[in-house]
Amino acid sequence: MVELDSFHWFMRWDNMLLEKTSEEANFFRHLMRRALFVIEDTEHARLRYMKPGISSHEIHKCTKATMPPPEILSRRVRCALHFMHMCDYETDTQTTNDTEANAEAPKRKQYLKHFDSYAKKGARRVKVRQLINNQLEHVGLGYLSDPSSDVVKIHGVNPCTGKVQSARGTGGCENDHRWLNVLLDMPPVGIAHSERVLDDFYEMPNDRKMVNQLGAQEQPT
82 and 179 co-located in one domain: no
Domain count, the chain: 2
Write down the pLDDT at residue 64: 77
Write down the pLDDT at residue 80: 95
- Which of 105, 125, 152 is the endpoint of a domain? 152
- Best CA proximity match to 37, nearest among 12, 64, 4: 64
Contact 140, 70 (CB under 8 A): yes
Is 167 strand, coil or helix?
A: coil
Write down the pLDDT at residue 201: 66
CA 180 – CA 178 distance, rounded (Å): 5
Contact 111, 105 (CB under 8 A): no
- Is 92 part of any domain? yes
- Is 1 part of any domain? no
- Which of 99, 121, 152 is the endpoint of a domain? 152
CA 218 – CA 160 distance, rounded (Å): 10
Domain boundaries, position 19: 6-152
Burial 63-90 (b: 16+ CB within 10 A, else e): bbbbbbebeebbebbeebbeebeebbee
Residue 215 pLDDT greater than 60, yes or no: no
Contact 156, 167 (CB under 8 A): yes
50 and 112 co-located in one domain: yes
Task: Please provide residue 156's backbone torsions phi and psi, each rounded to the nearest 5 degrees.
Answer: -130, 145
- Give pLDDT tens digits for 71-125: 999 999 999 999 999 999 888 887 777 654 555 555 667 899 988 899 988 788 9
Give 43's pLDDT tier (boundaries 50, 70, 90). confident
- Is 180 part of any domain? yes
- Give pLDDT tens digits for 115-166: 889 998 878 899 999 999 999 999 999 888 887 766 666 556 666 666 655 5
Residue 221 pLDDT greater than 60, yes or no: no
Q: How far apart are the first and last CA of the chain?
A: 31
Give 47's pLDDT tier (boundaries 50, 70, 90). confident
CA 40 – CA 169 distance, rounded (Å): 19
CA 44 – CA 164 distance, rounded (Å): 13
Give 173's pLDDT tier (boundaries 50, 70, 90). low
- Give pLDDT tens digits for 175-213: 666 667 766 776 667 777 677 677 666 666 556 555 444
136 and 176 co-located in one domain: no
Element (H, E) at 28: helix 23-36
CA 195 – CA 193 distance, rounded (Å): 5
Give 70's pLDDT tier (boundaries 50, 70, 90). very high
